Structure 1
Amino acid sequence: MRWGRTYFAVQAVAGALWWAAVFASPVVRDVTLGGLDPVAIAVFDIPLFVVASFVAAFGVRGAAVVCTGWTGVVAIALAVYATVTTEAGWGAVTMAPATLGCVVALCLVMLGRVPTAWIIRGPFAFRPAAIRATAATNVASTFRQIVVFWGLFLVVIPLIVAAVEQRWAIALPFPAFAGPVGGVVLLAASILGLSSAFVMSTLGSGTPLPSAMPNNLVIAGPYRWVRNPMALSGIVQGAAVGVMLSSWVVIGYAIAGSLLWNYVIRPLEESDLEQRFGEVFRQYRETVRCWIPRAPASFPLIHR
């Protein structure tokens, strides 16, 4: 709860400073509100955002709910306004993380924690793959997943994000060599991802999908160098696509994905692996790093 209250306190100060800048600087007013009337917006935003954040900092749950709801409404409204008019793009960008921060802080104030376990429920619940599936079946299933996930997260979403970035007039210039460099990095990261997927699906008796997880703890190929080579590959791929598209927002999208994976998904996944593989996984986790590769340790290739 303390961290949630701290967030609301910081947000109250930041909100007050932003409104002071809006009325003091035409530049700040223009890039964050565009042609909107700042007085009309302030009448609602100061009590529902700044004051509510201040009150929520004292642990008042109702204020936290009001602030979070209002922040979400403003974020959506500014996004629509920026898309239609090409104005206030920086305001829309600012409100998006503010909304996420409010939601997290609200969870901490109301529940004392962020209920991340809901992510692994239903079709995304951790379940081992069927033992009867052959290696060929697992490989085929894995590469079907790759086509879908790469198509969505590395093509469709980045192209939409880059288009919105241009529409909101928040794009920043990239050097001419950014595209080729991004292409080389994307190729290298893709090779890492494909090789990791092949090793997991052939030796692990399963797939990377949570609903058909490997039945074996695989410590071979890239997994001897780093614990989560597919996650590392995906994050680097996302950043490389952002560089290729000259889009700092897509790069930010990749960084946000890395934070989500590291602080939300990874602990749940590693808890499941520890329950299933016990001491062997604990030794593996202590020896092989999550993000930074290093020389392979001595481990059996497969542990059932």
Structure 2
Amino acid sequence: MIADGRVSLPRGFPAATVARAYFALQALAGGAWWVGVFTVPVVRTTTLGELDPVAVAVLDVPLFVVASALAAVLPLRAARWAAGTATAWTLAVTVLLATYATVTTLAGWGVVLMIAASVASVGAVFLLVLGRVPTEWLLVGPFAFRRARPGRSPLAHVAATAAQIVVFWGLFLVVLPVIIRALEERWRLVLPLPAAVDVVGIVVVVAASALGLWSAAAMTVEGDGTPLPSAMPNRLVVAGPYRFVRNPMALAGIAQGVGVGLLMSSWMVVVYALAGSLVWNYAIRPHEEADLVRAFGDEYRAYARAVRCWIPRLRPVGSGR
């Protein structure tokens, strides 16, 4: 549920109950994994490499498995300490195992599992301690919502938008995917993909980039602002692709990321793009929409009722200014 941009769980799903259920599941999964480590050689080699399983188990069983189980069953105050212990250990193991895998090229699948456990554990410990996930902590620096300074010329907005595109596309669609792909190869996690997948990737990247540029142009020209959260438009934009779907730039960015992953034949880059879509949809979008309601009131509410977030309309709504 969303209230003034703050994200909480739906009614009937108390935060502490959800967090405890996760830690119970994590304890069971951790116990099952250790059984696999000691009984199935392929599990041991793909997740621990050449590390001594006994030496690792001496620390991991009490700090991960047992601490997770205690977080699920102890009274709330004690459960928070147990959850914090399990989460801190999970993060530490993730960093250490990633370092080991990068140096030795072993235990890559163990790193993937620990990254997933780290993300989920951090979310669960926030639910247990705060009763929610503080997604507003992501809205800092250039990601903090502010209107563009009134009176700036359209040319200044265009220049700022162009600079944003170069920086953000360069970082999120070039630098990070290259790093992820390199780690995928180093950790021996490359999976065979059909030969034509790179062609599909090129088509997706080109189409999504065109949508992103069209969206940026509409926002810059029609909105007296830029796509950057720290210089948002001063007018509600119902023009260009915004007449068909509420968040064309987000849609374009996700598709670009998936296309880059396909182009690089990297399943990890595709997962990175899809994970980014979840972060945007559940952590950023609620705050953005709350800000738009504060800025434009009923005008935005009417627009949101008429135009869906992700699925484009067949017929455009409104008209450009």
Assess same fold via TM > 0.5.
yes
Q: Distance in 2 between matches of 1:258 and 1:298?
A: 25
2:114 partner letter:
M
2:99 partner letter:
V
- In structure 2, the residue matched to 1:44 is 59
> Once the two structures are aligned, what percentage of the paired residues are identical?
58
1:222 partner letter:
P
Q: Distance in 2 between matches of 1:78 and 1:242?
A: 24
3-state SS of paired residue (1:170) = coil
Q: Distance in 2 between matches of 1:18 and 1:33?
A: 11
2:149 partner letter:
A
Within 5 A, what are the aligned runs for 1:19-168?
A: 19-58=34-73, 59=76, 60-168=79-187
- Establish whether residue 17 from structure 1 lines up as the match of residue 25 from structure 2: no
- In structure 2, the residue matched to 1:180 is 199
- In structure 2, the residue matched to 1:2 is 17
- Picking from 221, 227, 237, the partner of 1:208 is 227
- Aligned 8 A contact 2:244 2:317 in 1: no
Following TM superposition, by how much is the alpha carbon of 1:160 offset from its aligned partner in structure 2, in angstroms?
Answer: 0.6
Q: Distance in 1 between matches of 2:300 and 2:239?
A: 13
Following TM superposition, by how much is the alpha carbon of 1:123 offset from its aligned partner in structure 2, in angstroms?
Answer: 4.1
Q: Distance in 1 between matches of 2:143 and 2:189?
A: 35
- In structure 2, the residue matched to 1:171 is 190
1:21 partner letter:
G
| Stretches of structure 2 lacking an aligned partner (at least 5 in a row) | 1-15
| Stretches of structure 1 lacking an aligned partner (at least 5 in a row) | none
- Establish whether residue 274 from structure 1 lines up as the match of residue 289 from structure 2: no
- Aligned 8 A contact 1:78 1:92 in 2: yes
Following TM superposition, by how much is the alpha carbon of 1:119 offset from its aligned partner in structure 2, in angstroms?
Answer: 1.8
- Aligned 8 A contact 1:136 1:202 in 2: no
1:218 partner letter:
V
Q: Distance in 2 between matches of 1:211 and 1:120?
A: 10
- In structure 1, the residue matched to 2:279 is 260
2:281 partner letter:
N
TM-score (norm 1): 0.97
Following TM superposition, by how much is the alpha carbon of 1:122 offset from its aligned partner in structure 2, in angstroms?
Answer: 4.2
Following TM superposition, by how much is the alpha carbon of 1:124 offset from its aligned partner in structure 2, in angstroms?
Answer: 2.7
Q: Distance in 2 between matches of 1:65 and 1:117?
A: 21
Following TM superposition, by how much is the alpha carbon of 1:203 offset from its aligned partner in structure 2, in angstroms?
Answer: 0.4
Partner deviation per Cα, 1:120-166 (whole Å, 9 max, x = no partner)? 23443211101111111111110110000001100010001000000
1:236 partner letter:
A
1:6 partner letter:
A
Q: Distance in 2 between matches of 1:195 and 1:122?
A: 26
How many residue pairs get matched?
302
Partner deviation per Cα, 1:79-132 (whole Å, 9 max, x = no partner)? 000000000000011101111111110100001011111222344321110111
- In structure 1, the residue matched to 2:268 is 249
TM-score (norm 2): 0.92
Partner deviation per Cα, 1:201-237 (whole Å, 9 max, x = no partner)? 0000000111100000001110011100000000000
Partner deviation per Cα, 1:157-207 (whole Å, 9 max, x = no partner)? 000100000000011011110111100110000000001000100000000
Following TM superposition, by how much is the alpha carbon of 1:301 offset from its aligned partner in structure 2, in angstroms?
Answer: 3.4
1:166 partner letter:
E
